[in-house]
């Protein structure tokens, strides 16, 4: 795995701020839980997204998955170095609230691993809350040890 120099707190704060902005566009009328994600690329640019729910509840997509699908559609899946995520129960105005950091669900961890494998990089995951300064930095390999990946398929 390549090392990265995007692990500093300032980078985390930038990603969490961008994720908070994205969460304002969450389509989450069923759970009323708004989530935002911001993907950081090697060139310093970011791709943001929010959760995208569906009246057929099981079809709902998490913010991290939407952000990485968008990253892939931009041809940048190999360039992901970090991702920030925030979430919280929405107030009546649709703004996520709360001080508890959100960490990616199991499915999203597997989706993040796809980017990690394509880029040959252990992706940094910043978990923040809708409000406040609490923020935790993880490595994907800590959140998803012994991940299933292309090597298990005999690919790469
Ligand atoms: N959600 C995310 O967007 N990311 C996660 O990592 C956890 C959950 C969304 C899915 C659903 O729209 C809402 O949060 C409540 O589960």
Does residue 53 carry a catalytic annotation?
no
Alpha-carbon torsion (28, 30, 33, 37), positive or negative: negative
For residue 35, the ligand 1 atom closest to its alpha carbon is 3
Token pair of 37, please?
């994600």
CA of 103 to the centre of ligand 1 (A): 10
pLDDT of residue 7: 82
Mean pLDDT over residues 67-75, rounded? 99
Does the structure show a pLDDT above 60 at 2? no
Alpha-carbon gap, residue 50 to 23, rounded angstroms = 5
- Structural domains in the chain? 6-146 (3.40.140.10)
CA of 51 to the centre of ligand 1 (A): 6
Token pair of 99, please?
């001080």
Check residue 52 and report its DSSP letter: B
For residues 120 and 93, is the Cβ–Cβ distance under 8 A?
A: no
Alpha-carbon gap, residue 154 to 156, rounded angstroms = 7
pLDDT confidence tier of residue 37, bands split at 50, 70 and 90: very high
- Assign residue 95 a region (left: φ > 0; alpha: ψ between -120 and 50; beta: otherwise): beta
pTM: 0.95
pLDDT confidence tier of residue 5, bands split at 50, 70 and 90: low
């Amino acid at each position: 795995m390549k090392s990265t120099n995007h692990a500093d707190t300032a980078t985390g704060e930038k990603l969490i701020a961008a994720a908070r902005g994205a969460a304002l566009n969450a389509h989450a009328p069923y759970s009323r839980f708004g989530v935002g994600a911001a993907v950081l690329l090697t060139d310093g640019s970011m791709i943001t997204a929010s959760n995208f729910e569906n009246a057929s509840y099981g079809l709902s997509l998490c913010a991290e998955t939407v952000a990485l699908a968008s990253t892939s559609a931009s041809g940048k899946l190999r360039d992901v170095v970090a991702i920030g995520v925030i979430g919280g129960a929405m107030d009546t105005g649709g703004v996520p609230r709360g001080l508890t950091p959100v960490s990616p669900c199991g499915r999203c961890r597997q989706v993040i691993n796809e980017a990690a494998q394509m880029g040959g990089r252990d992706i940094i995951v910043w978990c923040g809350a809708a409000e406040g300064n609490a923020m935790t930095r993880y490595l994907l390999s800590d959140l998803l040890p012994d991940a299933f990946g292309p090597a298990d398929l005999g690919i790469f």
